[in-house]
Amino acid sequence: MTEQQQLNYERIAGAIQYMSSHFKEQPTLEDIARHIHLSPFHFQKLFTEWAGTSPKKFMQYLSIEYAKKLLKNQAPRLSDAAYETGLSGSSRLHDLFISIEGMTPAEYRDGGKNLLIQYSFAACPFGNILTASTAKGICHLSFYEDQQQEALSALKKRFPLAAFAECVNSMHTQALQVFSHKPSILPDIKLHLKGSPFQLKVWQALLQIPMGGLSTYGRLAGEIENPAAARAVGTAIGSNPVAFLIPCHRVIQASGIIGGYMWGRERKTAILGWEAAHTEPVP
């Protein structure tokens, strides 16, 4: 990410944080622009380029009432939800199917022994991102702030006995296409995940939540036919190793409050607003 891209993202994040905290007051364009030290004209232009919608419309997507409406209108079973998502109104983002192939017990026990993991650093609309893959699929995708080494250390901690090589491969390129604003036919993206059977079950359920949709911890527990396990579901969500592709950001509290996120509440809010902006039908 260039210095200018990083500065723009920080400005957008600051604006979103301000809107999240003050949406009940309905701040004006001038109020928000003043908070991030930009003119209203430049703020409107920068924000619209990033989100694909106006700051005013985006603020509506951040409100608790909007979240409650989405939850209320969600299909009774998440597995019934359509994967096809409207993009820019007339175009459609074709089905993105993500298949999970869990590691064998031996691979899990051995901490990635005999695995070669290729990793690369890139920038996306929500900041810096580290993507990693084995020969079988994407095994790790995480947001990070400034220190690449810290992000890489966290990855190596998950696979202490694996071999690592910095390399941009086709899996990484395909995975990062999900952040594109342009309609495209995305290829199948395979995941190679390290997790317990319960975690894999929760992560599979997360994949059923369509872009622009929301769920709650309790609803997700019901989806995996374990309605008393809402807290355990939350723990499994917090252990998700693949940001965005496994959309743990689409799970919020039943009250409509956004709630926490491994990579920062502001980033979660930004992602949800961005997705809503790109899936809301054009009137």
Per-residue pLDDT of 12-47, as tens digits, reads 888 888 887 787 777 889 999 999 999 999 999 999
In terms of residue numbers, what domain contains 184? 67-279
- What the block records as the tokens of 243 is 């940001």
Catalytic one of 124, 139, 167, 248: 248
In terms of Cα–Cα distance, which of 11, 9, 16 is closest to 58?
Answer: 16
Closest CA to 136 of 108, 179, 99: 99
- pLDDT band, residue 65 (cuts 50/70/90): low
Q: What is the pLDDT of residue 240?
A: 94
User: The pTM is what?
Assistant: 0.80
Q: Are 78 and 219 spatial neighbours (Cβ–Cβ below 8 Å)?
A: yes
Contact 250, 206 (CB under 8 A): yes
The end-to-end CA distance of the chain, in Å, is: 35
Final residue of a structural domain among 37, 62, 87: 62
Q: What is the mean pLDDT of residues 251-262?
A: 87
Residue 165 sits in the same domain as residue 219: yes
Is the confidence at residue 229, as pLDDT, over 70? yes
Q: Which pLDDT score, from 0 to 100, does residue 23 have?
A: 73
**Mean pLDDT, the chain, as a whole number?**
81
Q: Clarify whether residues 110 and 242 are in a common domain.
A: yes
User: 58-62, 178-182, 247-251: lowest mean pLDDT where?
Assistant: 178-182
Predicted local confidence at residue 30, as pLDDT: 93
Per the model's pLDDT, the better-predicted residue between 253 and 97 turns out to be 253
- Please say if 167 is a catalytic residue: no
Using only C-alpha atoms, the chain has a radius of gyration, in whole angstroms, of: 19
SS3 content of the chain, % helix, strand, coil (to 5): 45, 15, 35
To 10 degrees, the CA torsion angle through 162, 167, 169, 172? 80
Q: Is the pLDDT of residue 152 over 90?
A: yes
Q: Are residues 126 and 185 in the same domain?
A: yes
In a shared domain, residues 94 and 224 = yes
User: How far apart (Å, rounded) are the C-alpha atoms in residues 118 and 104?
Assistant: 19
Looking at the structure, tell me whether residues 56 and 96 fall in a common domain.
no
Show which of 45, 62, 79 is a domain's final residue: 62
Of 22 and 118, which is predicted with more confidence?
118
